[in-house]
Chain A
Amino acid sequence: MSYIGKSVKRVEDPRFIQGQGRYVGNIHLPGMVYLAIKRSPYAHAVIKKFRTKKAEAHPGVVAVFTGADLVEAGLGAMPCGWNVPDQKTPIRQILATDKARHVGDGIAVVAAEDPYTAVDALELIEVDYEPLDAVIDARKTTDVGMPLIHDDVPENTSYEWSLGDKDACDEAFAAADHIVDLELTNQRLIPNAMEPRACVAQWSGPTEEMTVWTTSQNPQPIRLLLSAFTLFIPENRLRVISPDVGGGFGSKIFHYPEEVITPWVARKINRPAKWVATRSESSVTDSQGRDHVTVARMALKKDGEITGVHVTTWANMGAYLSTFAPLIPTAFYITLFAGLYKAKGIWGEVYGTLTNTVPVDAYRGAGRPEASYLIERLIDVAAHELGIDSVEIRRRNFIGKDEFPYQTPVALQYDSGDYHRLFDKATSMAGYEQMRAEQGQARNDGRLVGIGVSGCIEASGPAPSAVAGALGSAVGFWESGVVRVHPSGKVTVLTGSHSHGQGHETTFAQIVADQLGIDLGDIEVVHGDTGRVPFGMGTYGSRSAAVGGSALVMSTEKVKTKLMKIAAHQLEAADEDMVYDTEKGVVHVKGSPERAKPFAELAFAAYSAHNLPAGLEPGLDETSFYDPSNFTFPNSAHICQVEIDTETGEVELQRYIAVDDVGNVINPMLVEAQIQGGIAQGVGQALWEQGVYDESGQLVTASMMEYALPRADFFPPFEIGRTETPSPHNPLGVKGAGEMGTIASTVAVANAVMDALAPLGIRHLDMPLTPDKIWSAISSVGAASTAKVEYFGGD
């Protein structure tokens, strides 16, 4: 029996397809109150006075609380779980008391008998604000006259961080034949998970136990943060459950104020409480993504050899530091500047600045798409300027397949890869030479056809805990896995990793079924409930299979060892003569397959305990904690083709070819689904999505009327292939698969659009590459008929 490598259909799908998923929003408890949060309409304003009397008196309102009530109750402030050296972490209150610092900053909460009444009452709370000027531009936060957002963070700058070999970098530039300069923006994105955030809480007075249901990607860390930093209910009396969760993309990693407010209110008024974000609230409260302004240079030799990269980035952190915010533009960003390439002189610095905008944190790819966008744009511009084909210039710089493990100059040690083979496959699937030939013809006909190439690397599966600690993490990044075999031979698998769309219930069952040689249908995978899985670190950074899956492999090994001991004892053979046949799910004596005990019989024997070897404990319930020894390094070659309408500037994505190396593949269908969804999400950034704040700090793209999420009919069918270089350091040989699509596709499409515009002398445009922007660029080139316009940056 073998499940790994097969496209097993998702066991969770029947309940989702039939509308029987159980989300936080589906939870209804007797006597429940509904919460609504009063939010600041201003980006930056002193809160002078509250009047809550009218709201309190409104029929159906149970209670109204302000930030002062929470402070008085002794609740903590929202913690930041990542600290880089000399970081200034501003205080983020659960509800703001003194000042509102972004539109949507929570300032009061209403509890009412129904959600309609709760929202009605919000309108009855009167607040006197004194509006202040807003700080919006991440690069101008230190300008003279800029207001200070937090008194304790001078110059609105939370941290400065740098990495790389500065001397080698300077030398590379001094000796360069060619230098590419690029200034670019990686725009703000709004995550928009399908299911808005929600929280339900129930307090049990007699036992002093709190249960919190929350839409989290990682309920166990949320429990820790609630008990140690914000709510102060002891961890052993606090149960956090994240049942079915409708997508996260990073935005549901973080600890949010509503996760504190809801249980606090529930206990305070001794009734279950529920809060569900409206879509409008999601836009102004879910941590957002990206938002870098970068000045970058790349040094090359004439033949296209990259020798140096020099980068300065201003990373917009928003109004407060969200839970992992400082990690993203530091250790998840500059460490990826080596890309697939051998360049040595790499150096980068980042300024993490505060603005009066929604906090920014990890969003699918988290730092790594920003790095890939930067490096892969630089290479493409270099290719154009040096007259080298864009695949060829990459090939000339690849780390060779025999050079792994490869130590980059920016801290990481790549585990495995074969980048030439990856590109061989992509170019052959694409018919790359033919594509270029046809492009040449199209150009002769005056058509704007572009081919975009990207070759990306990702550090996934965070992370060795000691390394994370050294880099600034407050927590470790191991994962737990329990394999609990019941006396009848049925198996419950408990993982601290969490599925909010990924399909753990299927893939993790595939892993355990193959390890033990049992039927997939005999396995149940449980996750997302600290009452059943107390310890875990959750899902992000494409870590579930590599870290969570590995913990399960460890536990199955323990189960197998124990079963072999029992079998040896009962078959009167030596332990070392036993063979566990994972094909048949039996243990037999080496060389005598007929002297065998099946899995279920041995499981029963473990619990009947009538005939166990001396000293062996009864039971068959194994727990393991796996701490990865390294990241895994998935890599990709993506090629796409666009055509631009020369009159309207509209971009048509005509072909998209993706070849990814995610190591060994457990379920090809699910990996392909991850890649497909990732590509769509990444192209969304290249062409349509942008979170834009006006000067006063209002989010202009706060609704689905303005914020353009990609739709299925925006895309051609994707052509997807893969190569496999197993990760040598985890037992499954897997690498991350969840983010590569997003990381690689944004820049592939941006490169294609710029390739299409290259004959006009247009060198760079910032994303999203909207028709208006492209048309404006084309027309200004037309207008400047003699002097070709070279550069369109930062508009």
Chain B
Amino acid sequence: MYPAQFDYYRPKSLKEAISLLKKKKDAKLLAGGHSLIPAMKLRVSSPATLIDIGRIKGLEGIKASKTSVKIGGLATHAAIESSPELRSACPILAEAAGHIGDIQVRNRGTIGGSLVHADPAADYPTVMLALEASFTLTGVKGKRKVAADAFFVDLFETALKPGEVLTDVNVPVMRAGQGGCYIKHRHPASSYAVVGVAAIVTLADGAVDAVQLAVGGATPNPVLIKTVHHALVGQKPTPAAIASACENVAEAIEDPLGDLYASGEYRTHLATVLSRRALTEAVKRAKKQK
């Protein structure tokens, strides 16, 4: 497990990082290193230059306003899991962070790194889609905001342009009457999500006002399953209604990924079952959020 040779820079500021990123050929940012370093050790990835942004101050904070929470790209999974702000304003994200890998991975890995890496089996992308989050990307020309559903392009591919850094993640604050739940079927070897489901339910007067349901792991990028929203909106969230709405989940999953551990067929099936379970739990939580 010996990576190929590379140059190493540790900029002190974001500005310096961005300018290095522009100047150096074949450069990659290094954050927590928990996706990049294993790939380099296997020599699947051999960048000529690493720009370690891990110690830049001010990129790791978590700040809540009335309507949204701003999470720095360098916030670790552990920080997100245990953040009091997130636990009250956006508990589904803290919940998902707690499901990532093991303690060591959560202590080092960052949200920015996970989102940019865009592993189909990662946990955050699914939650981001359900939350309708947006990401702030900062480059030489300044900042731009990209919505989650436009950010994930394909397997390990995002809308991040060369020279850009993912500096913030913006998620909405959950309102009264909203409940969320993230459930995953964990791969016994890697701990990644074989299938992960994020469900956010909004209730009004005992009926469903909105459903945001995203399924990850079954396809190259997570998918938002709108048909479930259409099937449930205006209805009482009874077990039967939820179960019947979830019959639509399978259709939304085209060309499912399959491997030795879980076939495409099984992943599609899991998506349906876990959707029902996540929605049921989200409804329960929504009822408590009066």
- Chain A residues at the B interface, C-beta cutoff of 8 Å: 115-116, 118-120, 278-280, 647-648, 650, 687-688, 690, 692, 700-701, 704-709, 714, 770-772, 775-776
Contact = CB atoms under 8 A, between A and B. Distances in A.
A701 B2 contact: no
B2 A116 contact: yes
Interface in B1-53: 1-5, 42-43
Interface string B243-270: 0000000000000000111110010011
Nearest to B3: A116
A280 B1 contact: yes
Contacts of B259: 706
Contacts of B2: 115-116, 118-119, 278
Contact of A771 (B4, B260, B266): B266
Contact of A278 (B1, B185, B188): B1
B1 A714 contact: no
A704 B1 contact: no
B104 interface: no
Name which of B2, B3, B192, B270 has the most chain A CB atoms within 10 A of its CB: B2
Q: Which of A116, A700, A772 has the most CB of B within 10 A?
A: A772
Interface of B: 1-5, 42-43, 185, 187-190, 192, 259-263, 266, 269-270, 273
Given A116-B5, A648-B270, A714-B188, A706 B261 contact: yes
B1 A279 contact: yes
Contacts of B190: 704-706
A186 B77 CA distance: 39
Nearest to B277: A647
B42 A280 contact: yes
A775 B266 contact: yes
Contacts of A648: 185, 269-270, 273
A772 B5 contact: no
Contacts of B4: 116, 120
Contacts of B266: 771-772, 775-776
Contacts of A115: 2
Given A116-B2, A278-B1, A688 B188 contact: yes
Give the 3 A-B residue pairs with the shortest CB-CB distance, closest first: A708-B189, A708-B188, A772-B266
A692 B189 CA distance: 14
Nearest to B4: A120
Nearest to A770: B261
B115 to A, nearest CB: 20
Nearest to A775: B266
A706 B260 contact: yes
18 contacts: A116-B2, A116-B4, A118-B2, A120-B4, A279-B1, A280-B42, A648-B185, A648-B273, A688-B188, A701-B260, A706-B189, A706-B260, A706-B261, A708-B189, A708-B261, A709-B189, A772-B263, A776-B263
Nearest to A281: B1
B34 to A, nearest CB: 13
Contacts of A706: 189-190, 259-261
Contacts of A688: 188-189
A772 B263 CA distance: 7
Contacts of B43: 119
Contacts of A704: 189-190
Given A116-B4, A280-B42, A708-B189, 14 more contacts: A119-B2, A120-B5, A278-B1, A648-B270, A687-B188, A688-B189, A700-B260, A705-B190, A705-B192, A706-B190, A707-B189, A708-B187, A770-B261, A776-B266
A120 B259 CA distance: 31
Contacts of A772: 261-263, 266
A118 B263 CA distance: 39
B269 A775 contact: yes
A701 B187 CA distance: 13
Contacts of A771: 185, 262, 266
A692 B273 contact: no
A687 B2 CA distance: 32
A768 B5 CA distance: 40
Given A116-B5, A775-B266, A647 B189 contact: no
B286 to A, nearest CB: 23
Contacts of A120: 4-5
A727 to B, nearest CB: 38
Find the residue from B2, B187, B188, B263 having the highest chain A CB count within 10 A: B188
A56 to B, nearest CB: 19
A688 B262 CA distance: 12
A709 B189 CA distance: 6
Given A116-B2, A116-B5, A119-B2, A705 B189 contact: yes
A705 B186 CA distance: 12
Nearest to B185: A648
Contacts of A775: 266, 269
A120 B187 CA distance: 33
A110 to B, nearest CB: 12
Contacts of A690: 260
A709 B259 CA distance: 18
A121 to B, nearest CB: 11
A119 B1 CA distance: 9
Contacts of A700: 260
Nearest to B191: A711
Nearest to B276: A647
B276 to A, nearest CB: 9
A776 B264 CA distance: 12
Which of A688, A700, A708 has the most CB atoms of chain B within a 10 A radius of its CB? A708
A113 B32 CA distance: 30
B164 to A, nearest CB: 28
A338 B179 CA distance: 59
A709 B190 CA distance: 10
Nearest to B262: A772
B260 A692 contact: yes
A650 B185 CA distance: 9
A701 B189 CA distance: 10
Contacts of B185: 648, 650, 771
Contacts of A701: 260
A220 to B, nearest CB: 31
A185 to B, nearest CB: 15
Nearest to A705: B190
Contacts of B42: 280
A650 B277 CA distance: 15
Nearest to A279: B1
Contacts of B192: 705
Contacts of B270: 648
A706 to B, nearest CB: 6
A690 B3 CA distance: 28
A611 B59 CA distance: 82
B193 to A, nearest CB: 13
A647 B277 CA distance: 11
A770 B3 CA distance: 34
A776 B262 CA distance: 11
A115 B5 CA distance: 12
Contacts of A278: 1-2
Nearest to B274: A648
A9 to B, nearest CB: 27
A115 B41 CA distance: 12
Nearest to A710: B188
B165 to A, nearest CB: 27
A706 B259 CA distance: 10
Contacts of A692: 260
B35 to A, nearest CB: 12
B273 A647 contact: yes
A701 B1 CA distance: 17
A280, A648, A650, A714 — which one has the most chain B CB atoms within 10 A of its CB? A648
A120 B1 CA distance: 11
Nearest to B42: A280
A692 B260 CA distance: 9
Nearest to B188: A708
A700 to B, nearest CB: 6
Contacts of A647: 273
Nearest to A709: B189
A692 B259 CA distance: 12
